[in-house]
Structure formats: structure tokens, C-alpha cells
Amino acid sequence: MEQKNQSQQADTEYSRCAVPLSERKSYFSLTIIWTGFVFVITSMMAGGGLAAGLDFKGIIIATLGGNIFLSIIAVLISIIACKTGLTFALLTRYSFGSSGSKAASIFVPVVNFGWYTIQAATYGHFVAQVFHFGWVGEGICMAVSAIVMGIFSMFGIQAIAILGYIAIPAIVFLSIATAMRSLGVIGGVEALFSYVPSANMPLFSGITAVIGTWVLSTATCIADIMRYAKDTKTAVSATLTGLLGGNILMIICGAIAAIAMQNSDLTVILLSFGLVIPSLILMTTNIFTTNAANLYSTSLNLSNAFKMERKKMLAILLALSAVATLTRPYEIGFLFSFLNILGTVVPPLSGIILADYFLVHKGRYEEFDKASFRKWNPVPWITWAVCIAAVYIIPLGLPSLNGMILGGIIYTVLMAVTNKQAVGNLAEEA
């Protein structure tokens, strides 16, 4: 017990225990961290992808619809995180069990690792284009970007907040400036609404792509940030500011730029304006804030899965990401395939976590330090597998919404029928 307490005292990021009330943060601080996370160049790229298949009215509908869906998930997960003070990885112990949680929480960093690598590669590709490096130079830029972006993650959530204070004003100004410059190119707002895309994208596909931009983070990573909230009002307000303000701004600005330049490759668009230095500042501040928070969340999940010291795990991840960028995953086709997979696979997990807290446990978890957990609970795994299959079979509705609702319903029913519990008096603590 003494060794466990010493370990928790050394864990300044509270990766294996609840965040104490004395360490909770204000609305402004959390908004800076979360909005910096949400302000990401890949959201602008997603806006460019929407412009390839939707008119501007359709883009607005898809963006609003997707972000409202994301906000519902994010708010509910934030409330749970705030009330418990726990990371997403620790929250999954209540539904998946102690060993099951390790398996479930590996899924999150694996996907986050992909996200991190895509964004590092995008930035390295951009720098190589600016300075006219060849393919070898581009590879070096991408690998170095993956390593440098992880430095802020090493120093924890306080360093990420400081980065956000510096970067967010620049991101907002330059994103809006890019959109305004684009409007001037196409001839104003009237021309924007007269835009006709070259291809036809179903509106539901557009909404699913928007959901895919942040469904993983709103279902999982946001808990790692909002566990620091002083109260649920602070958590909810910060969450909505980031999504309904930040993500909508990024997607719409990216779409306007793509419409103006008739190209969904954001690197080409920014360089086409001839504003090399502002574009470089936009890309740097935009990607660095998101990737720092991204890798921070990944390290917390892997700390739960492998019980390895967080900074050692970060060093391994940075090396792997540097190598993975050489596959050049920044291409828009790869990105949209990735987003659509996320938009289908992750929502059932959200439904399971939300149903476990609000329905199975009636909105109250036993304190983490006092709870004892079974090693495995098969119910969430069965639920997740059934939901993914059902989403691909059901031809109607929005796949993301179907997955989340089915996840919540099936999990709740199976838990009631089997009376399986991952936490309780008879449980075995791992």
C-alpha cells in the first residue's frame, strides 16, 4: 500500500488515480486546452473534402449536424470525467473490468497514434513544399516533425495550456484571414452559395465525415482534459466552446478555401495564396496544439495498459511515429477513409460508456480508490462487435448515431439479463 501511495504521489499527471479537487482548473484554462486540441489542420482538410461533393449549403448542414452530434457525446463524457476525476482509461474499468480496460484502452492510443502521424506528416509535407525540398527532404521534415511535436506532451497538461495561450489567437486570425482571402478570389458570399461541386456526396456521408473528425476525441480523449474541471458547468461550457466554436470554424474555413481554389489539398491552397510565412505560422500553431494534447492522451491510456512510466512510453511513440510518417499518410483519400472508419467504429464505444454510467450505475460510480474490479466483463465486447456489424448491415439513418444508440441499448439490456458487473463487492481487483 505504501508503494502504491508513493507511485501516485510521483504521478503528477494523475494517470492512475482521480484528479484531486485542489488541482482542478478554471473554464478559461480548460477552454484554451480543449480549443487548442480542436483547432487542427485536418478539420480544415475535411472541410476541403466536403467541398468536393457538397454545395456550400450542404457543407453548413453537414458541419452543424456533425458537430451537434459530437457535442452531445462530448458533454456527457465530460460530465462523467468531471464527477469522477478519472482518465478515459480508468473509466473503462467500470464497464470492461481491470484487464478488459487495458485491452479496450489500447484501441484509443492506436487510433490516436494514427491521427498524430497523419498530422505530423501533413506538417512535414507542408514545410518541404515551402522550401522546395525533394522527396528525401520531405521524409526528413515529416520524421523530425513527429519528434518535435511530442516535446510539449512530455511536460504535461500545464505545458499544453501554455502552448494554447500562444497559438490560439494566431490560429483564429489566420483561419479567418484565409477564408476572407478565399471569398475575394471567388467573388463574395453570393458566389460561394452558387458553388456547384464536381461530384455528388450524400449528405449523410458528409455528416459522418464531420463526426469522424472528432468522434474519437469526444468519446475518449476529452475525459483526459475535463477531469480537471472544477464543476460540471465548467466542463460543459469549455466542451461546447471548443466544438461549436473551434471545430465549426476550422471546417467552414477549409471548405471556403477549397471552393475558391478548386483544390482540397490544403498545402497547395495555402501556398497558392502566396502568403508563405502566415501559412507556415498557421500550420505550425494549428498542428502543434492538437498533436501535443493528442499524444498526452495517448500516453495516459498506455500508462493504464502497460503500467510503463509515461515519458518512456512517449519516447517510444515518437520514434514509431517518425518512421510511420514516411508512408506519407497526409493524402486526402487516406484521410477521408480514416475518418469514415472512425465515424463508424467509435460511436458504439461511446454508447457503452454512457450507458454504463447513466443507466447501469444510475449516474454514480463507486470511488476509484475504494472500488474493486473484476478482471473481465464480456458484455461490452459482445456489444461493440454486434454494433459494428449492425451499423454496416442497417441501410437507413446515420451510421454514427445508429452505433451509439445501439451500443447503449444492447449494453444495458445484456447487463440486466446477465447481471454481469465489472465492479462490486465480489469483484477481484487486478
pLDDT score at 387: 92
What is the per-residue pLDDT for 356? 94
| pLDDT at residue number 8 | 46
Give me the pLDDT at residue 27, please. Answer: 94
Distance (Å) of CA 224 to CA 80, 221, 310? 11, 5, 14
| Residue 336 pLDDT | 64
Specify the pLDDT at position 95: 92
315-326: average pLDDT: 86
Backbone angles phi, psi at 373, to 5 degrees: -120, 140
Q: Compute the distance between CA of residue 121 and CA of residue 143 in angstroms, rounded to an integer.
A: 8
Q: Please compute the mean of the pLDDT values over residues 49-76 and round it to a whole number.
A: 93
Regarding predicted confidence, which is higher, 215 or 364? 364
Contacts of 286 (CB under 8 A, 6+ apart): 39, 40, 41, 44, 167, 171, 175
Residue pLDDT, tens place only, 157-195 = 777 777 777 778 877 887 888 888 888 888 888 999 999
Of 216, 209, 220, 260, nearest in space to 65 by CA: 209
User: 200 pLDDT exceeds 80?
Assistant: yes
Could you read off the pLDDT of 288-319 as tens digits, one per residue? Answer: 777 777 777 777 777 666 777 777 778 888 88
Decide which of 31 and 12 is more confident.
Answer: 31
Where residue 15 falls among pLDDT bands split at 50, 70, 90?
confident
CA–CA dist 7, 3 (Å, integer): 6
Which of the pair, 274 or 128, is modelled with greater confidence?
A: 128
- Which tens digit of pLDDT belongs to each residue from 214-230? 777 788 889 989 999 99
Could you identify the residue written with the cell 464527477?
Answer: 83
Mean pLDDT, residues 64-74: 92
Q: Are 246 and 39 a contacting pair, CB within 8 Å? A: yes
- Give the per-residue pLDDT at 427: 41
Grade residue 422 by pLDDT with cuts at 50, 70 and 90: low
At residue 384, the pLDDT reads: 92
The percentage of residues in the chain with a pLDDT greater than 90, rounded to a whole number, is 30
User: What burial class does residue 132 get, using C-beta atoms within 10 Å of its C-beta: 0-12 exposed, 13-18 middle, 19+ buried?
Assistant: exposed
Average pLDDT in the 351-366 region?
93
Reported as a pLDDT band with limits 50, 70 and 90, residue 205 is confident
